[in-house]
Amino acid sequence: MQASVKGFMDQQAGSGALFEDIYLIDGKRTPFGKYTGSLSTVSPTDLGILASRAAIEAAGVAAEDIDQTIVANIGQASADCFFLPRHIGLYSGTRLESTALLTQRICGSGMELLGQAAEQIALSKARLVLGCGTDVMSRFPLASYSARQGFPLGRPEFVDLLWEALNDTAAVPMGCTSDNLARHYNLSRAAVDAYAMRSQERYASALAAGFFNGEIVPVAAQGVLEMGEYNPRKYRLNSREDCGADEHPRQTSLEKLANLPCVFSTEGPTTAGNASGIVDGAAALLVASGDYVRTHGLKPLGKIRGFAATGVRPDIMGIGPAPAIRLLLKQAQLKVADIDRFEINEAFSAQCLAVAQELKLDEDKLNVNGGAIAIGHPLGATGVRLTLTCLKTLHRDRKQLGIASACIGGGQGIALLMEACA
């Protein structure tokens, strides 16, 4: 068998690709730090390097074998951000001739980069690809786009790029899209709060059982990242203490959730308690051809079977996973019932419930370890985290097929189909 790809495109449904003999070997992620928390003083490049080095070690591959590095990063949160993918590759130990690029599909970027990695392998442009997603949302800058042209005395113009990331200027703010879906699918405040509570409880149960030990690499309080002749990179955590666990999960109650005010509209039901957390973090995965896997005697977590993306109305962008999953399943000749585990990004409770309702999902298969309401949603890293979590869940639960999916600001959806290896 040889790595191969078959692309597909439907003007009314979207596009994507199906793959043969391409593997997701293993990966790691940093803890996801809370807004202005422990990781907020670290650049996304450095978090990406830390996650990538750990993923390479977990995969049992030689960094020098990596042919390409593909990175997702949405917020340019450090002064050297223009070099981010190249620096992640170089400081992770890839050879000088190995190339690096940046990809951006906002919340779906982590899955997009894995699909692109598989395509590069199927086209014989690589045998082994490092995929990394990284964002430090706490460091999204305040920016002045007109300062070079001058401004009136006392009237400098600045925008908060973190806040702007939550606002689609073509339609409505992201939270309003969730409220729109809640109205369309008749989702009550009680229902969306109950879903948020379940996300927190499922995360707590998985954490207590040690599930996340297999995907998280702790970040030391300070460090120096060195590689060959390149300039050392120094970092220090805001907490001045090691960070070994996700910081955003909350111990809460339905009563506390019910008392939170609505954020984006007076009628809601979206609140800070039933929306994904603003967090900092990075995640990385190694993607390889079957020939590379067999030659090196590797035991990959799974195969990447395919991925698909589609466009939806911007004002209901949160429904995006539903048509993306439908398209992918149709092309793979599968049904919703054939999928053992779904990891769908919890941008908002109402959004995730709307997708589940639209697809008639068995919620016992959905986000069984909790989701972004508990863990958080560092934009560029989320898709890689969802895929890694799904793979490890399939192995733990002795299941075969999984789908990771996310809605995308501006009105898109993306989905990735994977199969666990024995």
Contact of 196 with 274, CB cutoff 8 Å: yes
Q: What are φ and ψ of residue 157, in 5° steps?
A: -105, 120
Q: Where are the beta strands (DSSP E) in 52-186?
A: 68-72, 99-103, 128-136, 142-143, 159-160
Look up residue 213 and give its two tokens.
């030990």
- Asked if 407 is an active-site residue, the reply is yes
| C-alpha count within 13 angstroms, C-beta hemisphere, residue 210 | 1
Contact status, residue 408 vs residue 320, Cβ threshold 8 Å? yes
E strands of 137-278, at which residues? 142-143, 159-160, 222-225, 233-236
**Catalytic (active site) residue 390:** no
Write out the H or E segment, with its range, that includes residue 361: none
Distance between CA atoms of 123 and 385, rounded to whole angstroms? 25
CA-CA-CA-CA torsion sign (268, 272, 273, 276): positive
Angle at 135 between CA 18 and CA 367, to 5 degrees: 55
CB 185 within 8 A of CB 354: yes
φ and ψ of 275, to 5 deg: -125, 160
Catalytic residue among 81, 352, 407, 421: 407
- What SS3 state is found at 88? helix
Instruction: Summarize the chain as % helix, strand, coil (round to 5).
Output: 40, 25, 35
Contact 86, 49 (CB under 8 A): no
- Rounded to whole angstroms, the Cα distance separating 20 from 289 reads 9
CA dihedral 285, 365, 106, 134 (to 10 degrees): -30
Which candidate in 81, 107, 352, 390 is catalytic?
107
Gap between the Cα atoms of 155 and 215, Å rounded: 47
Which of 409, 416, 195 minimizes the C-alpha distance to 315? 409
Enter the tokens of residue 241: 């203490």
Annotated catalytic residues are 107, 407
